[in-house]
Amino acid sequence: MYKTKKLKNGLTIIAEEIPYFKSISMGIWFRAGIKTEENYIDGVSHFIEHMMFKGTKNRTSKQLVAEIENLGGVINAFTGRECTCYYVRLLDEHLNIGIDILSDMILNSKFDEKDIEREKSVITEELKMYEDSPEDLTYDILLEKVYDNKGIGKNILGSKESIKSMNREAILDYFEKFYVPENAVLSICGNFDFDETVKLIEDKFANWHGEKPNYNLQDEIFNPCVVKKDRDYEQTNLAICFECENIGSSSNDVYTIDIINNVLGGSSTSRLFQRIREDEGLVYSIYSEQEFYRDKGELGIYASMSTENLEDVYRLIKEEIVSLNENGITEEELKNSKEQLKGEFMLGMESTESRMSAIGKYMLITGKVETLEDVIEGLNSITMEDINRVIKDVLDIDKMGVCVVGKGVSEIEL
């Protein structure tokens, strides 16, 4: 049973009480990611995420982490394309400490000039590490190209140039606009009393105010393309992307895409895995996955292989896409995918952290509550007609983005 409450300052709380757990997970979510950085320095959302751990008026950087870790808890954060989240996981008896720490970070972070300069070096090293990850690099190069390096197509970390140009004034300008209660959701899951917890949150965040941002963001246009980058990697990396136009997080067609993805490459029994890895032995890794934003989504395919296998792998992937368009999926695949996805979802929701994350992000992006029953009902409702319609809408071989990164790939015709 989910409970919600909007505080006088505009902060939305969404909670799930589970009394048989001995822990709580709590996160505060902001609609602030690479998508909202239009007219700001690229990577500022991610930079702020780092700076929030560099000390407040009340605690040093070490104290922020130590107060949680000394209790056996976890404190962390992440930045996405549309949101940033700061979260803690603790024993239920330490709930008040978690609220105090999160509120201190949000209300009292210092953004010291020296810390900003030092963190530029840290994030530059993070960028280098990311560039050494073939899988991440290949897909991000593809997104940058298909979205013309705008909005969700930009690198979450920024670039070496944007990181170098980061400054306190730019950070505070962004922070003061987007880190306001009207632009935030606090989600909590575990063993706690809702009414008492709301009072604690109201008390700790009483001095937090600010107007809801006027986003006025441009919509990204998806541009089909083929990108080839020579890199001295041991294997060649292939990424393919299809736009799920107008299929945002709250669309019922999210469940349709989930099923199509599961059949195509979302499991070890999927068509791509079985044909290209198991039958042909051309790859070690091949899979597909989906990502949804506020008003659109993507269905992506990734594979890594020896360069000499690239053309065969690419051809076979396209054959499977064409087959889905011409023949659809079988009744057995539809039935099995529904059961598999329901099982995976329910098993994945057995921790307070996963439940906190699911309800918090969904509320932030859509403004709605999505229950476990909603997901099960949504999957059960999908028909073969839905599958065929969405396959035709999304899996258009002439409207896909393709990126290949590896040794000598620029000379290979695709």
Give 7-58 as a DSSP string: -TTS-EEEEEE-TT-SEEEEEEEES-SGGG-TTS-TTHHHHHHHHTTS-BSS
Q: Which of 333, 403, 414, 347 is nearest to 375 (CA)?
A: 347
How far apart are the C-alpha atoms of 283 and 305, rounded to whole Å? Answer: 5
Give bridge partners of residue 2 from the DSSP assignment.
Answer: 16
Q: Which of 137, 160, 143 has the alpha carbon at shortest distance from 405?
A: 137
CA distances from 402 to 144, 242, 264, 303, 317 (A): 12, 9, 17, 12, 12
Decide: residue 199, CB within 10 A, 0-12 exposed, 13-18 middle, 19+ buried. Answer: exposed
Q: What are phi and psi of 167, to 5 degrees?
A: -145, 165
Residue whose entry in the numeric block shows the structure tokens 């441009």: 218
Q: Which amino acid is at 294?
A: R
CA 391 to chain centre: 23
User: What gap in Å lies between CA 310 and CA 402, rounded to an integer?
Assistant: 12
Encoded amino acid at 349, one letter: M
Which residue is listed with tokens 């105010």?
209
Residue count of the chain: 414
* 49 noted as active-site residue: yes
State how beta strands 297-305 and 236-244 pair. Answer: antiparallel
CA 49/CA 253 separation, integer angstroms: 32
C-alpha to C-alpha distance for 197 and 99, rounded to whole angstroms: 9
- Which one-letter amino acid corresponds to residue 114? K
CA 386 to chain centre: 26
SS3 77: strand
Selected catalytic residue, list 16, 37, 38, 49? 49
DSSP string for residues in 298-322: EEEEEEEE-GGGHHHHHHHHHHHHH
Rounded distance between C-alpha atoms, residue 102 and residue 179, angstroms: 13
Residues acting as catalytic residues: 49
